[in-house]
Structure 1
Amino acid sequence: MSRPTPIEAPWMVLVGPAGTGKTTLGREIAARTQRPFVDLDAAADGYYAEAGWSIDKLRERITAVGRLAAEAEWEPARAHAVARAVADHPDAVMALGAGHTSYTDHQNLVTVRTALSRCRDVVRLLPSPNRDVSLTVLRRRCTASKGRSWIIDGHDYLAHWLDDPGTEQVATRTIYTRDETPAQITARLLGRS
């Protein structure tokens, strides 16, 4: 299978709350299309450092001001990471962690929307069009696979990411994964359903 000529932005970007299968699907799509796969959660440390942040600094700020406030302080670094990753990984399949499309400061969302507007396909993944069904499925998946419910210090991050309009604003389409296998979802994403 010959590869198409590379483009100047990722070929496909997967977004959505934790537990939607972005990494699993991204790897499968990349393998089937013979493109590189980039998981921004795994690759972002260098980009955060460019913006004066690190995971250690985030932990220190969480201890000092609480998780919610620290997450807000960290937003510019997350937005910077998205913009840099989009520029650095043309023709890749990329998965963005939930926090990379969820911002309280509108300017950070504008930065991310501008970067992602160069991408041909930004796919928002959700289990169901029904919000409550999606939240239940995602909570179950996160608890089973990562041992975390995403309710931290009384704040429900999973519900926050699910309800955040930023992810919908950056997406070019939304795919509801229902009870499909990764192979079935990948075929649908690639237009071979």
Structure 2
Amino acid sequence: MKSDIILIGPIGAGKTTIGALLASRLGLTQYSMDDLRWEYYFEIGYDEELAKHKRETEGFWGVYQYWKPFEAYAVERLLSSHNQCVIDFGGGHSVYEDTALFQRIQQALAPYPNVILLLPSPNLDESIQILNQRNHYLPDDKLNINEHFVRHASNYELAKFIVYTKGKTPEETCSEILNLLSASKN
């Protein structure tokens, strides 16, 4: 069993913010997938020109599909390279339509008891509304992908815990997670 804390969830759910607070309170290092993803993608042949072409010809959904094998590799790579830490995934790093890729992520996360899905609310429509307000800077196609992340079964199947953030400060959410993890050890 690994004691690392892994935060998953859609874009704008607070993963990086909460991750920083958890790391600070626990005296651990934080690793953010958004900071490391490209390094890992390029390790296995990510092609920027092909990604650009897919974006131009197929839209965001096309490039999103191109990213998926790279995202799965990045998750495996990050988990194998870092321990005794807090990790926050990018919004798509826990959502897979392809069964084989999803099973790889399930297997990679299986030894981790502290996989926490962050969402604003248990009501998915409300979560989407709140996230769209937080992410007002995103183009419409990325708002749609975020709705996909909220509704997709992957996050719920991978999470060991779900924490709702609506009406709570980041510090209150951090304390709730620490209490939840402490109680689960007993």
Q: TM-score, normalised by structure 2?
A: 0.90
**Structure 1 residues 57 and 39, CA gap change in structure 2 (3 angstroms):** farther
1:177 and 2:170 are equivalent in the alignment = no
Large movers: runs of 4+ above 4 Å: 54-57
Report the counterpart of residue 31 of structure 2 in structure 1: 38
In structure 1, the residue corresponding to 2:118 is in which secondary structure?
A: strand
In structure 2, the residue corresponding to 1:158 is in which secondary structure?
A: helix
Deviation at 1:174, TM superposition (A): 0.5
Supply the distance in 2 between the matched residues of 1:55 and 1:191 (Cα, whole angstroms): 43
Report the counterpart of residue 6 of structure 2 in structure 1: 13
In structure 2, the residue corresponding to 1:90 is in which secondary structure?
A: coil
User: Pairwise mapping of residues 12-91 of structure 1 onto structure 2 (< 5 A)?
Assistant: 12-53=5-46, 57-91=50-84
How many residues are aligned here? 181
Report the counterpart of residue 3 of structure 1 in structure 2: none
| Greater helix share, structure number | 2
Deviation at 1:30, TM superposition (A): 0.3
In structure 2, the residue corresponding to 1:101 is in which secondary structure?
A: coil
Instruction: Provide Cα deviations, 1:34-85, integer angstroms capped at 9, x if missing partner.
Output: 1000110111112101221155653332124332122112211100000110
Q: Which runs of 5 or more structure 1 residues have no equivalent in the other structure?
A: 1-6
1:151 and 2:140 are equivalent in the alignment = yes
Contact 1:99 1:161 (8 Å CA) reproduced: yes
**Structure 1 residues 55 and 20, CA gap change in structure 2 (3 angstroms):** farther
Deviation at 1:178, TM superposition (A): 1.6
In structure 2, the residue corresponding to 1:167 is in which secondary structure?
A: helix
Supply the distance in 1 between the matched residues of 2:97 and 2:105 (Cα, whole angstroms): 13
Supply the distance in 2 between the matched residues of 1:184 and 1:118 (Cα, whole angstroms): 27
In structure 2, the residue corresponding to 1:100 is in which secondary structure?
A: coil
Supply the distance in 1 between the matched residues of 2:47 and 2:82 (Cα, whole angstroms): 21
Supply the distance in 1 between the matched residues of 2:89 and 2:8 (Cα, whole angstroms): 5
Supply the distance in 1 between the matched residues of 2:61 and 2:169 (Cα, whole angstroms): 34
Report the counterpart of residue 165 of structure 1 in structure 2: 153
Supply the distance in 1 between the matched residues of 2:156 and 2:83 (Cα, whole angstroms): 22
Instruction: Provide Cα deviations, 1:115-152, integer angstroms capped at 9, x if missing partner.
Output: 11121200001111111111111111111xxx11x521
Q: TM-score, normalised by structure 1?
A: 0.87
Report percent identity of matched pairs: 28
Report the counterpart of residue 4 of structure 1 in structure 2: none
Aligned residues: CA RMSD = 2.0
Contact 1:45 1:54 (8 Å CA) reproduced: no
Q: Which runs of 5 or more structure 2 residues have no equivalent in the other structure?
A: none
Report the counterpart of residue 98 of structure 1 in structure 2: 91
Deviation at 1:98, TM superposition (A): 1.1
Contact 1:26 1:37 (8 Å CA) reproduced: yes
